[in-house]
Chain A
Amino acid sequence: MEAFDYMRPTSVVDACAALREAGGTARALAGGTDILVQMREGKLRPAALVSLRDVPGLRSVRRAQDGGLTIGAATRLIDIETSPDVLRDHAALAEAASWIGSVQVRDRATIGGNLCNAAPSADTAPILIAYGSSVTISDGRDERTLPLEDFFTGPGETVLEPGELLTAISVPPAPARSHAKYYKTFRSAMDCCTVGVAVLVVFAPDSRVVEDARVVLGAIAPTPIRAPRCEEMLRGKELDTALMASVGALAAEEARPIDDVRASAEYRRVLAEVLTKRALAAADSWLQKGAGA
């Protein structure tokens, strides 16, 4: 690996100052499982790494009274996967985290790292967007909060400016009578997903009618994307097999996939359809079984 400056600040203020001083040539270092691989391959040559290791307050999961979660950006995937607070109402997030890499990777990799590396295939992004999550960004003085779906601007690119740090992810409480599920396909356990689909369905009281829905597609466009036409089609209708099929077909249309080494664009469209239908079927089956009771 090429040499670089290494700093280990002990506060968010100092971390942001270090990032700002390096003016865009520095990167924050959390688990390092993405960034160090990219650096070794020469794809990334930061002049400095600003370690978040000793910055307090970035590595925790807090569950508020209303059931919403605040997750520190440097919380490790292994801690999300096993957190009772996450598992309680947001089990689909814990499951998505548990599917990333190996134990060795999840012991280091962080949720903020997964988001900031902004791979179109980032596994925690679709389910977090489906839950309606937002991110908090600090510049050391002020904070700004924005919906996670607005955080990504392209493959490997986010809205983060030099001197800014992603500090927390806020996940709203899971709505009553709601079911969330993330499905992905991958060639091998250690590979990026070929397609990932997260679906949140909120059912109306005492019925199979969909009150609200979010459909989020990963690895199928330059960033994770919502499929608004799918969501619109679901709203106000009874979730039956015909509706699942129509929404799945629409998901394939909403996708903007590329051909790459992992799959052809055509195959990705088919996967988007299949996984969307599967996630809707999971919501239906959950309802049939008594809505989690």
Chain B
Amino acid sequence: MKRELHLTVNGVSYHRLIDTHRTLLEVIRDEIGLTGTKNGCGQGECGACTVLLDGEPVNSCMVLAHEADGHDVVTIEGLADGAVLHPVQRAFVETGAIQCGFCTPGMVLSAKALLDRNPDPTRQEILDGLKGNLCRCTGYVKIIEAVQAASCLLDEEEAS
């Protein structure tokens, strides 16, 4: 069963006829062609498929595309401003918080959402905010440092 779907992804409006059993992840990757959002566990455990839905992080593998009908989605491709990385992305690169990179898009979006809610999180608040994002390479140490660094970068940006 197909149905009309309207999504705004990274500021661009899309109208498509989409099967009602497709997930938001499938539409983002296969229909819109943005493959930065990763398909990991498919069970909402690993967070590799994290996108921002109306600014809030969700597992796109567990959201039916049509449940997001009419709403606003930001994927990892929508974070940088042209060639200028978002402060959270910059902090991940500069801190060396990326190894294989598979978890990075979800990790960065969860970190951004956390810092939007709470610009100056404690270490525990960072751990809680990233609880739904698994990384099998880094051991999380550099990732936590990157979020702390991003918090400082965003402060500086605010001040300037």
Q: Tell me the A residues contacting B by CB distance below 8 Å.
A: 1-6, 8, 29, 32-33, 36-37, 40, 49, 51, 53, 78, 101-105, 107-108, 189-190
Show 14 A/B contacts (Cβ-Cβ < 8 Å), sorted by A.
A1-B21, A4-B21, A8-B66, A32-B63, A32-B67, A36-B23, A40-B43, A53-B67, A78-B56, A102-B44, A102-B133, A104-B44, A107-B58, A108-B58
* Chain A CB within 10 Å, residue with most, of B1, B47, B62, B63: B62
Q: Is B3 an interface residue (CB 8 A)?
A: yes
Q: Give A8 to B114 CA distance when docked, in angstroms.
A: 31
B56 in contact with A107 (CB, 8 Å): yes
Within B20-69, the residues touching A (CB, 8 Å) are: 20-21, 23, 42-45, 47, 50, 53, 56-59, 62-64, 66-67
A3 in contact with B44 (CB, 8 Å): no
Q: Mark B114-141, 1 if CB is under 8 A from A, else 0.
A: 1000000000000011011100000000
Which A residues are in CB contact (< 8 Å) with B110?
A: 103-104
Given contact pairs A102-B47, A104-B50, A190 touches B131 in the complex (Cβ within 8 A): yes
Q: Is B145 an interface residue (CB 8 A)?
A: no
- Name the residue on B nearest A51 (C-beta): B67
13 more contacts with CB within 8 A, not counting A37-B62, A104-B50, are A3-B1, A5-B20, A29-B64, A29-B67, A32-B62, A32-B67, A33-B44, A37-B43, A49-B64, A51-B66, A101-B132, A102-B132, A103-B110
Q: Tell me the B residues contacting A by CB distance below 8 Å.
A: 1, 3, 19-21, 23, 42-45, 47, 50, 53, 56-59, 62-64, 66-67, 110, 113-114, 128-129, 131-133
Which A residues are in CB contact (< 8 Å) with B50?
A: 104
- Name the residue on B nearest A39 (C-beta): B21
B1 in contact with A104 (CB, 8 Å): no
Which B residues are in CB contact (< 8 Å) with A3?
A: 1, 19-21
B43 in contact with A104 (CB, 8 Å): no
- Name the residue on B nearest A37 (C-beta): B43
Given contact pairs A32-B63, A51-B67, A189-B131, A105 touches B44 in the complex (Cβ within 8 A): yes
Which B residues are in CB contact (< 8 Å) with A190?
A: 45, 131-132
Given contact pairs A36-B64, A104-B57, A190-B132, A6 touches B21 in the complex (Cβ within 8 A): yes
Q: Give A101 to B110 CA distance when docked, in angstroms.
A: 14
A102 in contact with B56 (CB, 8 Å): no
Q: Give A32 to B67 CA distance when docked, in angstroms.
A: 10
Given contact pairs A29-B67, A51-B67, A105 touches B59 in the complex (Cβ within 8 A): yes
The 5 closest A-B pairs by CB, nearest first: A102-B132, A6-B20, A104-B132, A104-B59, A189-B131
- Name the residue on B nearest A82 (C-beta): B117
- Name the residue on A nearest B45 (C-beta): A190
Closest Cβ of chain B to A22, distance in Å, is 14
Q: Give A76 to B45 CA distance when docked, in angstroms.
A: 18
Closest Cβ of chain A to B27, distance in Å, is 13
Q: Give A234 to B2 CA distance when docked, in angstroms.
A: 58
